[in-house]
Amino acid sequence: MKVLGIETSCDETGVAIYDTEQGLIANQLYTQIALHADYGGVVPELASRDHIRKTTPLIQSALKEANLAADEIDGIAYTAGPGLVGALLVGSTIARSLAYAWNVPAVGVHHMEGHLLAPMLEQPENRPHFPFIALLVSGGHTQLVKVDGIGKYEVMGESIDDAAGETFDKTAKLLGLDYPGGAALSRLAEKGTAGRFVFPKPMTDRPGLDFSFSGLKTAAANTINQSIKAEGELTEQTKADIAHAFQTAVVETLAIKCKRALKETGYKSLVIAGGVSANKQLRQGLAELMSELGGHVFYPAPQFCTDNGAMIAYIGALRLQNGEHSDLAIDVKPRWAMTDLPAI
C-alpha cells in the first residue's frame, strides 16, 4: 500500500510517500523559518498562506521522487491536529480533495502520534518494541506517555505551562539570538562554562511527572538582567555560560522525570521524539540514564525530529490498513487528546 502523507500543522510543509512493502520512498520538506524570522515567531496567517503555495508543488515533487503516477497512490494521510487551525485546514482540504478526485481513502492523523512513532521509520534494529515510555518534547508539547501499542497511550505527565521547546526559544530571544532560537541556544551552550551559573530544576523536588518551565525562563531572565547590570552588556562568554546552565537544567529535569516514569512502570525502553529530541546534550543525558538503568533509548533520525510528512504517511498507512478512514467532511482538531485515538 502506497500512502501519500501531508503535514501542515505549523511552520513546515511536509509531503512524503510511504510504501508498506518498501518503506519510505519519497520525502519532501519546506521550512518557513525565513518567512517568520523577522517576527521572532510563527505568524499563523502567513503560515497558512505559505502552505497553500507550497503543498501542491511538494506533492508533485514527491511523486516524481518516488517515480509514481497519481493513480498508483492507494491512500492519503494528513495531519488533522493538533496545530494551527488555518494551517491544518490547508493540508486537510488538499488531502480530502485529492482523495475524492483519485477515488482513494483518506485518514486524518494525530500530529503527536506521528512524532511518537517516528523512530519506527528507522532500520529494524533501531526501532523500539512495545511497551515503552515516550518523551515528546517540542515547541508546543512536553509529555511523558506510557505506550503499550499503537493507539494504546496513557499520558503520565505533561507541562502545566510552557513547553520545553517554547522555553528554549523564549530564553534564546532574551539572549538576543536569531530565530529559531532553540537550536541557536544549544549551539551556544556548547561553548559555555559548566558551573558558573546554576538554574533550578523545576518540580523535581516533589512527586509527580508533570513539568513546569516558566519559572526556569524567569530565572534565566533574572540572571541575564543581573549580568547586564554587572557587566554593562552581556559578553559572548556570559551568554554561552547562561545558555549552558539553562540547557543543563532542562536536560536534568527531563531525565529525572523520565527515570521516575521508567521506575513506575518497570519499562526498559525510552523513546524521545519531537523537535527538541535533536538536542545533543539531551540525547547524551538520556543515553547515560538508560545505561544506568540497563535499558535502551531510541530516537528518530534528525530529519524526522522536526515536523515532516514521513511520520504522517507512516501512521496513515497503519491506520488505513486497519480499516480507518475519514469521510468527506473537512474536520480538523486544533486541540486533540492522543488518548482519544483508537487502538490497533
In a domain, 8, yes or no: yes
In a domain, 124, yes or no: no
Task: Give the C-alpha distances (Å, rounded to integers) separating 171 from 142, 193, 221, 274, 308.
Answer: 17, 18, 7, 19, 25
> Do both 265 and 328 map to the same domain?
no
pLDDT score recorded for residue 294: 97
232 is in an annotated binding site: no
pLDDT score recorded for residue 207: 94
> Do both 110 and 252 map to the same domain?
no
> Do both 284 and 159 map to the same domain?
yes
> Do both 147 and 25 map to the same domain?
no
Question: Residue 29 in contact with residue 308, Cβ under 8 Å?
Answer: yes
Q: What angle do CA 234, 236, 237 make, to 5 degrees?
A: 100
244 is in an annotated binding site: no
The share of the chain scoring above pLDDT 70, in percent, equals 100
137 is in an annotated binding site: yes
Question: Residue 281 in contact with residue 248, Cβ under 8 Å?
Answer: yes
Averaged confidence pLDDT in the chain: 96
- The residue among 98, 86, 82, 3 whose CA lies nearest residue 51 is 86
> Do both 162 and 69 map to the same domain?
no
279 is in an annotated binding site: yes
User: Any idea what the CATH number is for the domain that residue 189 is in?
Assistant: 3.30.420.40
pLDDT score of 132 more than 90:
yes
The share of the chain scoring above pLDDT 90, in percent, equals 96
Rounded Cα distance, 81 and 79, in Å: 6
111 is in an annotated binding site: yes
Rounded Cα distance, 230 and 332, in Å: 51
183 torsion bin: left (phi>0), alpha (psi -120 to 50), beta (else): alpha
> What's the domain range around 53?
2-117+304-340
169 is in an annotated binding site: yes
182 is in an annotated binding site: yes
> Do both 332 and 247 map to the same domain?
no
> Do both 248 and 112 map to the same domain?
no
pLDDT score of 206 more than 90:
yes
Position 46 confidence tier, pLDDT thresholds 50, 70, 90 = very high
- How many domains does the structure of the chain reveal? 2
Position 48 confidence tier, pLDDT thresholds 50, 70, 90 = very high
> Do both 197 and 276 map to the same domain?
yes
> Do both 72 and 173 map to the same domain?
no
pLDDT score recorded for residue 337: 95
Task: For 76-101, write each residue's pLDDT tens digit.
Answer: 999 999 999 999 999 999 999 999 99
Q: What is the mean pLDDT of residues 31-53?
A: 96
In a domain, 181, yes or no: yes
Position 310 confidence tier, pLDDT thresholds 50, 70, 90 = very high
Q: Which amino acid is at 287?
A: A
pLDDT score of 124 more than 90:
yes
115 is in an annotated binding site: yes
> Do both 50 and 140 map to the same domain?
no
Rounded Cα distance, 23 and 19, in Å: 5
pLDDT score recorded for residue 116: 97
- Residue 206 exposed, middle or buried by CB count within 10 Å (0-12, 13-18, 19+): exposed
pLDDT score recorded for residue 180: 87
205 is in an annotated binding site: no
Position 167 confidence tier, pLDDT thresholds 50, 70, 90 = very high
Q: Cβ neighbours of residue 331 under 8 Å, at least 6 residues apart?
A: 80, 92, 108
91 is in an annotated binding site: no
pLDDT score recorded for residue 148: 98
Task: For 133-163, write each residue's pLDDT tens digit.
Answer: 999 999 888 999 999 999 999 999 999 999 9
pLDDT score recorded for residue 140: 85
> Do both 76 and 134 map to the same domain?
no
> Do both 243 and 135 map to the same domain?
yes
pLDDT score recorded for residue 84: 97
Question: Residue 144 in contact with residue 157, Cβ under 8 Å?
Answer: yes
Position 302 confidence tier, pLDDT thresholds 50, 70, 90 = very high
pLDDT score recorded for residue 139: 85
In a domain, 49, yes or no: yes
- The residue among 265, 283, 260, 284 whose CA lies nearest residue 273 is 283
Q: Which three cell numbers stand for residue 167?
A: 522555553
